[in-house]
Amino acid sequence: MTSGGIGRYGSRPKGFRHVVGALGVLALGLFGGTVQANPEPGQLNLTPGVTTYSHVPYVLNNVALGVCVVIGILVFGAMFIAMFRFRKSRGAVAEKWSHNTTVEIIWTVIPIIILITLAWLATDGLRQFSDTTGAQMTVKVTGYQWKWRYDYVDYEGKAISNVGFMSKLDDQSNATRQLNSGLDPYAVKVDGYNTYLLNVDHPLVVPINTKIRFVITADDVIHSWFVPALGWKMDAIPGVVNATWTNITEPGIYRGQCAELCGQDHGFMPIVVKAVSKEDFAKWLADQQKPVAPAVPAPASTAAAPAQAAATTAQVAPAHGTQG
Amino acid sequence: MAQAAAHDHHDEHHDEHHEHLNFFQRWVMSTNHKDIGTLYLVFSLLMFFIGGSFAMVIRAELFKPGMQLVQPYFFNEMTTMHALVMIFGAVMPAFVGLGNWMIPMMVGAPDMALPRMNNLSFWILPFAFTLLLSTLFLPGGGPAGGWTMYPPLSLQSASLAYVVFAVHLMGISSIMGAINIIATILNMRAPGMDLLKMPVFVWSWLITAFLLIAVMPVLAGAVTMLLTDKYFSTHFFDAAGGGDPVLFQHVFWFFGHPEVYIMILPAFGIISEIIPTFSRKPIFGYKAMVFAIASIAFLSFIVWAHHMFAVGLPLGAEIFFMYATMLIAVPTGVKVFNWVATMWGGSMTFETPMLFAVAFVILFTIGGFSGLMLALVPADFQYHDTYFVVAHFHYVLVTGAIFAIIAATYYWIPKWTGNMYSEFWGKMHFWNSVIWVNVLFFPQHFLGLAGMPRRIPDYNVAFANFNMISSIGGFLFGASQLIFLGVVIHCVWFSKKKATDRVWEGARGLEWTLSSPPPHHSFTVAPVIHDEELAHGHVED
Ligand code: HEM
Ligand SMILES: [Cu+2]
Ligand SMILES: [Cu+2]
């Protein structure tokens, strides 16, 4: 997925945000024009993402980085000047002073002002992030060793009763990743894009331009649901249900991985989100809800957590396993 | 020197006494702060190479995409053991060793206040680490749930009990070491060595020792709860039994964040000794430096949840911990500015200790910058548990804590041994270290920003180029440390060049008034303090 990124936050209102946006664009320019939603070789910076929120971490990152670079140039610059000017070999004689109240106050107060600015920006972003109200759709995400389960809870005000499935590493990646498999990770491709360890058998299919609420939990150990293009990760913790949201603005396939160490195959439980138009999503959902002929009530996981129990009767394999 | 005459007499007496000791008595039964300091440092160096060899396994597996060398579970054992060995085996004992050696000499004391406890606190460590490392050879393998030991995952490990017991031992050792250091600094100072005349290194250790006493019991409590959850049917961290896995993280990081400062405050002290010496100018803002260390220590108790931004904390908690974390940047900044100001207007030379100190200031600051970025919660939702965090803590720990330890070794080894190290090979070690450490860790920022999670044994090909660069840097950084080993061995046993008592032209402080090597007991008669002999004897600020 390629996206300019500039339009999205460039169009945000208010004076200060413009400045911030401009800084962001500047940093964007510095780090190469095309910014992608999925990892690319040589990628140097965060993705601006593809949601109504994902510019927040991106801009914050760029502004904070810019601030650090400027401070760094000043401090390290002063240090290098000192190292050249005040060398004994150049005949420098040490001065006696070891104290200067004025400069000490200055270099305490200026960082405080900079920090307040950064804190203000970050707090504003955090407020947007924490507002999970007004969602048009709910998806329940459950982490297992070592796969994900997605249950569709409701969509546009209507409860969805029996759409839910497990999502695990695709077979080709899985065969390739075995120790000394002799298979080439570079050969694992979908549509020309290398999907080694970033592809699943059944992706999470969601509509764009829809505020989706995720409720995230886990069944065994702690996992973390992380798709960079959405702009956040959220821990999946057994016994805890975390809520968060996204609203994807561009159709596409967005890839991520489990981000919390969860045992031996922690590196092998990717996440794939397939964002489609509302119409396509409605069709897909209808397909899923059609009763499947031989309903196999096979519990796909070892443990029988409440979440699992609720879903066993509705253990439906997705009608078409969308491969990337 | 008023005390010099008295000293010579005592030296003879003690060196004589010391001749009678056989190897076992001298090293295993030692109550001498210098010998115990040496033991700590040697132990730390050994652990540094063991922990380093685990890192080589990690970087070798990550050299290119695909699994080539180890099974994923073993990879997780390596990341877990690497961190535990480096933190508890390499960095912390090194600082205790440096403190043991230098604090009595810096405050004008004959030895540590509690010499027998000093022996015990060291000799616990080899047992603790034998126990820990032995798990790698047990059926079921070593711990593989990360050094952070989050349940429920850590409870799946067959070797949990070993790890918990090893951590208990390390904690006991650290607490005893800390008590000893506090007792020494508060009770054993020579008359006239007021608190505000002490070297910054001594101050930094005093404050660190309080942090240790405050948080090591918390870690012990946390791991004990893991143990009872696994073996005695408690449910502290088990949601099904009414417990909460997140509780562990709160308790762990209440220890864990002060712990990272335990690993950097003594480093601040070391750098605050070295920069003035080679700038031939007193430290800028002595009181501000001491106050900054104290305020960092205080703040370190109220920022723990910045490691937990993604667990789903309430909004108010996210905001509180974000602001508190950002606040730490202020005293940290003051320290960096003061180091630069110390150099400004000085008369500098760049022997190996100074080179490492200068590199520390720059590279630690880079780690501080990424720390500041991590403190911004919405950005941390992206960075958390990616290689960006790995890059952050290696900048503060390797180019921070470890560079300071190396700088301290070059700075003080002529005093310890009476011999000069090879400046040429010291510089070789420096330039190799400083180049390869950046090749090793800088690209990890990019990997993290692109979304590569930490603690994974294999990755998508998009991450291949920077991982390969990082691994090459890793192998060469590792190899460069063999130069260090060579320099130390040469200095101790083979160097022909004798060190003077002062060693460095700009060195100030009581430790430099002693002979090189110093007498077996440092100041058997309290020295008469001349303020102009001290680095900070008559500063007003
Ligand atoms: C300006 C000062 C600093 C700030 C603001 C800061 C901030 C942070 C934050 C927010 C994290 C959590 C990142 C995450 O997991 O998402 C972190 C991780 C870490 N920091 Fe720092 N930090 C600072 C200095 C230090 C220092 C001085 C050390 C040690 C010498 C240190 C060692 C670590 C370690 C070891 C971790 C990772 C722990 C783990 O998850 O395994 N940091 N830091
Ligand atoms: Cu995981
Ligand atoms: Cu911390």
User: Average pLDDT of A118-138?
Assistant: 94
What residue spans of chain A are helical by DSSP H? Answer: 6-10, 15-30, 55-85, 101-130, 171-176, 278-289, 306-312
Tell if the CB–CB gap between B462 and A194 is shorter than 8 Å: yes
Report residue A98's pLDDT band, with 50, 70 and 90 as the boundaries: confident
Q: A82: which residues sit within 8 A by CB, 6+ positions away? A: B340, B343, B344, B345, B346, B348
pLDDT of residue A65: 96
B306, B318 contact by CB (below 8 A): no
Q: What tokens appear for A276 in the block?
A: 């489609």
pLDDT over 70 at A143, yes or no: yes
B2: closest CA of chain A, how far (Å): 26
From the CA of A1, how far away is ligand 1's center (Å)?
33
pLDDT of residue A282: 94
A158: closest CA of chain B, how far (Å): 27
pLDDT of residue A166: 95
Q: Closest residue (by CA) to atom 7 of ligand 1?
A: B371
Pocket test for ligand 1, best of B374, B384, B390 (most atoms within 8 A of CB): B374
pLDDT over 90 at A152, yes or no: yes
**Model ipTM value:** 0.90
What residue spans of A254-296 are helical by DSSP H? Answer: 278-289
Chain-centre distance for alpha carbon B24 = 28
* Alpha-carbon gap, residue A27 to A24, rounded angstroms: 5
pLDDT over 70 at A320, yes or no: no
Q: Is A29 exposed, middle or buried (0-12, 13-18, 19+ CB in 10 A)?
A: exposed
Residues of chain B found within 8 Å of residue A97, distances taken between Cβ atoms: 345
Q: What is the DSSP letter of B201?
A: H
Q: What is the pLDDT of residues B406-452, one digit of tens each?
A: 999 999 999 999 999 999 999 999 999 999 999 999 999 999 999 99
Query: Domain B35-533 is of which CATH architecture?
Result: Up-down Bundle (1.20)
Q: Closest residue (by CA) to atom 37 of ligand 1?
A: B393
Q: Phi and psi (nearest 5°) for B356?
A: -65, -35
User: Average pLDDT of B89-104?
Assistant: 96
The type of residue at B461 is V
Using alpha carbons, list the distances in angstroms from residue B397 to A227, B87, B404, B407, B443.
29, 9, 9, 14, 17
* Buried/exposed A200-219: b ≥16 CB within 10 Å, e otherwise: bbbbbbbbbebbbbbbbbbb
* Alpha-carbon gap, residue B72 to B246, rounded angstroms: 26
Q: Which residue has the higher pLDDT, B372 or B539?
A: B372
Q: Determine the residue among B340, B463, B466, B534 to mutate to test chain A binding: the one whose Cβ has the most chain A Cβ atoms within 10 Å.
A: B340
Helices (H) and strands (E) in chain B, counts: 18, 0
Strands A164-167, A147-155: pairing kind: antiparallel
Report residue B18's pLDDT band, with 50, 70 and 90 as the boundaries: low
A3 strand-pairing partners:
A35
* Alpha-carbon gap, residue B133 to B166, rounded angstroms: 10
* Alpha-carbon gap, residue B24 to A14, rounded angstroms: 75
Q: What tokens appear for A59 in the block?
A: 């801009």
pLDDT of residue A168: 95
Q: Whose CA is closest to A257, among B62, B456, B72?
A: B456
User: Average pLDDT of B28-50?
Assistant: 95
Find tokens 């960079």 and name the residue.
Answer: A228
Tell if the CB–CB gap between A126 and B372 is shorter than 8 Å: no
How many percent of chain B have pLDDT more than 90? 90
Report residue B1's pLDDT band, with 50, 70 and 90 as the boundaries: very low
Cβ neighbours of B104 (radius 10 Å): 27
Residue-wise DSSP of B107-168: HT-SS-S-HHHHHHHHHHHHHHHHHHHHGGGSTT-S--STTTT-TTGGGG-TTHHHHHHHHH
User: Average pLDDT of A142-162?
Assistant: 94
Phi-psi region of A293 (alpha: psi -120 to 50; beta: other; left: phi over 0): alpha
Find tokens 């230098």 and name the residue.
Answer: B102
Nearest 10 degrees: Cα torsion B223, B229, B232, B235: 130
Which are the catalytic amino acids of B?
A: 82, 111, 147, 173-174, 257, 259, 261, 272, 306-307, 332, 335, 454
Q: What is the pLDDT of residues A269-287, one digit of tens each?
A: 999 999 999 999 999 999 9
Q: Is A94 on the interface with B (CB under 8 A)?
A: yes
Find tokens 């004008």 and name the residue.
Answer: B108
From the CA of B256, how far away is ligand 3's center (Å)?
7
In CATH, the number for domain A137-292+301-312 is 2.60.40.420
A283, A299 contact by CB (below 8 A): no
Residues of chain B found within 8 Å of residue A39, distances taken between Cβ atoms: 450-452, 460, 462-463
Find tokens 């309903």 and name the residue.
Answer: A295
Pocket test for ligand 1, best of B82, B299, B307 (most atoms within 8 A of CB): B307
* Alpha-carbon gap, residue A65 to A110, rounded angstroms: 17
Q: Which residue has the higher pLDDT, A10 or B486?
A: B486
Tell if the CB–CB gap between B315 and A126 is shorter than 8 Å: yes
* Alpha-carbon gap, residue B506 to B500, rounded angstroms: 13
Strands A270-276, A204-207: pairing kind: parallel
Tell if the CB–CB gap between B446 and A43 is shorter than 8 Å: yes
Ligand 1: residues with CB < 6 A are B 148, 260, 263-264, 306-307, 325, 328-329, 332, 368, 371-372, 374-375, 380, 383-384, 389, 392-393, 396-397, 400-401
Residues of chain B found within 8 Å of residue A234, distances taken between Cβ atoms: 310, 312, 381
pLDDT of residue A319: 42
A249, A211 contact by CB (below 8 A): no
Q: What is the pLDDT of residues B221-238, one digit of tens each?
A: 999 999 999 999 999 999
From the CA of B364, how far away is ligand 3's center (Å)?
15
* Alpha-carbon gap, residue B147 to A253, rounded angstroms: 34
* Alpha-carbon gap, residue A231 to A251, rounded angstroms: 16
B468, B396 contact by CB (below 8 A): no
A257, B453 contact by CB (below 8 A): yes
Q: A3: which residues sit within 8 A by CB, 6+ positions away? A: A35, A36, A37, A48, A50, A250
Cβ neighbours of B165 (radius 10 Å): 16
User: Average pLDDT of A19-36?
Assistant: 42
User: Average pLDDT of A200-205?
Assistant: 95
Q: B444: which residues sit within 8 A by CB, 6+ positions away? A: B387, B388, B390, B391, B394, B466, B470
Strands A232-236, A223-227: pairing kind: antiparallel
State the DSSP H helix or E strand holding residue B339, giving kind and residue range, or none if neither: helix B315-343
pLDDT over 90 at B520, yes or no: no
Residue-wise DSSP of B74-104: HHHHHHHHHHHIIIIIIIHHHHHHHHHHHHH
* Alpha-carbon gap, residue B171 to B453, rounded angstroms: 30
Sequence spans of domains, chain A: 55-129, 137-292+301-312
pLDDT of residue A285: 94
- C-alpha triplet A312, A318, A320: angle, nearest 5°: 165
Tell if the CB–CB gap between A228 and B450 is shorter than 8 Å: yes
pLDDT of residue B532: 81
* Alpha-carbon gap, residue B123 to B245, rounded angstroms: 35
Q: What tokens appear for B208 in the block?
A: 């660190």
Closest residue to B246, CB basis, from A186, A232, A237: A237
* Alpha-carbon gap, residue A230 to B129, rounded angstroms: 43
A140 strand-pairing partners:
A151, A215
Report residue B17's pLDDT band, with 50, 70 and 90 as the boundaries: low
Closest residue to B378, CB basis, from A129, A177, A237: A129
Report residue A29's pLDDT band, with 50, 70 and 90 as the boundaries: very low
B77, B147 contact by CB (below 8 A): no
pLDDT of residue A308: 40
User: Average pLDDT of B356-383?
Assistant: 96
Tell if the CB–CB gap between A92 and B348 is shorter than 8 Å: yes
* Alpha-carbon gap, residue B18 to B14, rounded angstroms: 6
pLDDT over 60 at B472, yes or no: yes
* Alpha-carbon gap, residue A236 to A269, rounded angstroms: 13
Q: Which residues of chain A from 191 to 220 reach within 8 Å of chain B, CB to CB?
A: 194-198, 220
User: Average pLDDT of B401-407?
Assistant: 98
Cβ neighbours of A279 (radius 10 Å): 9
The type of residue at B397 is L
Cβ neighbours of B479 (radius 10 Å): 12
Q: B223: which residues sit within 8 A by CB, 6+ positions away? A: B149, B163, B164, B167, B168
Sequence spans of domains, chain B: 35-533
Task: Tell me the average pLDDT of chain B.
Answer: 93
* Alpha-carbon gap, residue B132 to B171, rounded angstroms: 13
Q: What is the pLDDT of residues B106-156, one digit of tens each?
A: 999 999 999 999 999 999 999 999 999 999 999 889 999 999 999 999 999
* Buried/exposed B400-421: b ≥16 CB within 10 Å, e otherwise: bbbbbbbbbbbbbbbbbbbbbb
